[in-house]
Each structure stands twice: as C-alpha cells, then as structure tokens.
Amino acid sequence: MNWISITFFLIAFLVFCTLFKRGADIISPARVFGFTWSIVFGLANLKLSGLQHSWTLSDWVYALMGPSSFLLGLFAACVMAMGRQLHPVNKMRQILKNQDVNEARLFYLTIAAFTTYLVGYFIVYLVKGHVPIFAPNPGMARTDFFIFGIGLFLHNMPFVLFFSIVYLLLVPDSRGRKWILKAVVFITVLSYVFLLQRYQLIMVAVIAFALLYYATQYIRFRTVALFVALGIAVIYSISTIRVGQLLQFALYKGSLMKFSPEYAIITEPYMYLVMNVENFVHSVNKLDHYSFGYHTFDWVFALIQLKYPIREYFGVVETPYLFSGYNTYTLFWTFYRDFGVFGISIVPLILGLVVGSLYYAMRRNPTIELVSYYSIIVFVMGLSFFINLLGFLWFVYIITWMVLILKLVRVKDSKWESGSAAHFS
C-alpha cells in the first residue's frame, strides 16, 4: 500500500469518526460523497488487478476534477447557509412527526402503482416468454427483459416499496390496509429478485434508510447492521445466480487479480468499485470530440424516440476506449464526454450547489417531500462512482412519479385535516 492509498483511507476514516460527534448528521452530503470517493480512490490506487494502470499527474487531475468541483459546490451552499437556523436531526424528527398525510390517497396510489407494475411484468413476460431467473442464460435474459413503453412499469418497483414502507411504518392503525401492503411488499420484492436486477433494490434500501433516519427513531446500530447484512446477502445471492460459482473464478482470472484465488469472492465488489474511475482515466485522454448534451440529456432523446436514430446517424459509441469487460465510467464521464473540461468542472459545481441548497432547505424547514428528495440524492451520491443515473429515462420516470405522489398525499391546509389524514409517528 502506498502513501496515496493511505491518504485516501485516512480521509475516509476521519469522515467515519465524525459520525460519532454529538448531533452529527451521519448522511450529510459532504460525508456521504467524501467517504464514497475516498474509498474508491484509495482502492483504485492499490492496483490489485492487472487490468488497472498507473496514473500520471494529469490522470489524477482529471479524476479529481469532478468530485472536487462537486464538493466545492457543497461548500458554497454551506457558506450561503451560515447564520440561518438549521434544525438538528432530533428536532427534524419532532417536526416531521406532526406532519399529516392523506392516508387513503397514499394507500390507493401505492396499490395503483403496484397493479401497473404487475401488468407491465406480465406483458413483458408474455412477449419474452421467460423470467430471467428461469431462463437458460440468466445473465443475458436479465438485460433483455424489457419492452419500451410498457416496460417502464417495471420501474414502479422502487416507489411501490418506498411508499409501502412509508405507510407501514409512519401511518398509525389501519391494520387491514397494512396487511395488504405487506403482501404487496413481499410480492414486489420476490418478483423483482426474479429479474436478477440489483440497482433499484439498492435504491429502495438507501432512500428508505434516509427517510427513516430523518423521520423516525427506528435507525439504531443494530438495525443498520441487520439491514446491511441482509442487503449483502440478497445482493450476493443475485450475483451468484447470475454468474455462478464457476464463473466467479473465471471473473477472477479474467480480471487478472493479484491476490490468491481463495479470495476470488472479493473480485466482483473490488472491480465494480475501481474499474469505473479506471475507465474514466483511460478514456479521458483519448477522447477527441464531444457529444454536446447527447449523453447528459439521454432520457429526453429516449422519451422522444430519437436516441437510437441519433446514435446510428452520428455513429455514437456508447462505451468507447474500453480495455476490459467493465463498461461504466462514473457520473462525471457523461459531463466530460459532452462538454469537456468545462463540463467536468462547471456541471458538478452546479450540482453540488443545488444538492447543498436542497439539504440546507431541508434542515431549515423539514417536510416529507424535501426529506424524500434528499433521500434520493443520497443514493445518487453513493453511486456516483459507478454511473450517471441522472440521464436515464427509468430514473427520471421514478423521480417524476415520486414527486407527483408526494404532492398528492401531503396535507397542506385545514380543508384536508378531516377524514383520512394521518399523523406520522
């Protein structure tokens, strides 16, 4: 281990130590983002795979530019929030406890989302003729289980689970409806696991954790440890089904790992953490033209059905300059590929400022909406080393529906307070 890795791991350790400071917000943006990228850079510099390369000074400048710009934006938002009253987390929980939701609307909208999820699932199954977990080639089948349009209903899963959790944990009484939603959660999770997809399950876990942390007293060390252990077990199980034990060893050999084969199980998590930034550094010096917003606004072109015609007409290569089977580049690659140095420095700066502003707005005036929006951002920051979720149509689809449902179920004035309004507890 060299001094660069030691430095980044030391930064991550210091960030971790701040979690034990009295009154500290353990998922503040600088903590989440700083810890994530410190770990990623520390691991990337270990060079445990033969697919990794030594970085020059210019490589490090490019690699650090995006994360540094984002942190600078967070710092600017912090400076602008100085002198304003920010509620501590305990006070936020008290405020959120007394906010009302329209219980009936929350329940029926969740059921509607679940119903359309099942409809989309069944139609795709009829067209494709199989569910990935039972297909002859599960790894390939999981990427093919989609139809444009109706297939978007499969992405109802995150907000079906999210709003079911909100109802089950934060709405008092209503036992009958809670039993129905427990069945909804079970069926949704089981059916989605059959698709062998992991990202959106992780998304639900993260945003639910953040919501519960700010809105309830449920988050304790024991519960966190339990859910982390359960999450690792589920993710590893899905991975094992997808590639199998034999292919795990093949992955170890194909990744040219420099440690003993008995630790082959470490290969996948290590490579998923480091190869994104490795691909970024490898590609950034080879890019000789920019795409001027095509990738940043990928979801817009996908929605209006111009994504693939544009790609074919201009000969766009989605994963250029790859030197391995790992084909992701970090969130910041999108902005560099579209706008060069300007994109990788200015766009993350603006994003950091927006995220910081939302965070401090939430701390000044906690509402279920703001907490839910920030919970999603926590997920985006935590996965920023891997892919740019902001450009995906499925992600925009999920966010759009979550925003609409939150607006519909939030009680904002006295005319709603009779009938089916429920207090958070």
Is residue 235 predicted with pLDDT exceeding 70? Answer: no
Cα 27 to Cα 29: distance, rounded to the nearest angstrom: 6
**Two structure tokens written together for 13:** 């350790």
Q: What is the pLDDT of residue 186?
A: 94
**Mean pLDDT of the 255-265 span:** 83
Q: What is the pLDDT of residue 307?
A: 84
Quick one: pLDDT band at residue 411, thresholds 50, 70, 90? low
Q: What is the pLDDT of residue 168?
A: 84
Q: What is the mean pLDDT of the chain?
A: 85
Q: Which candidate, 90, 104, 363, places its Cα nearest to that of 215?
A: 90
| pLDDT per position as a tens digit, 200-233 | 888 888 898 898 889 888 776 666 666 666 666 6
Q: What is the pLDDT of residue 191?
A: 92
> 102 phi and psi, to 5 degrees?
-80, 100
**Mean pLDDT of the 246-262 span:** 79
Can you tell me whether residue 16 is helix, strand or coil? helix
Q: What is the largest CA-CA distance in the chain?
A: 67
| pLDDT per position as a tens digit, 302-348 | 888 888 888 887 788 888 887 777 888 999 999 999 999 999 999 99
| pLDDT per position as a tens digit, 91-134 | 998 888 777 778 889 999 999 999 999 999 999 888 888 888 87
Give the residue with greater pLDDT, 169 vs 113.
Answer: 113
Q: What is the pLDDT of residue 229?
A: 67
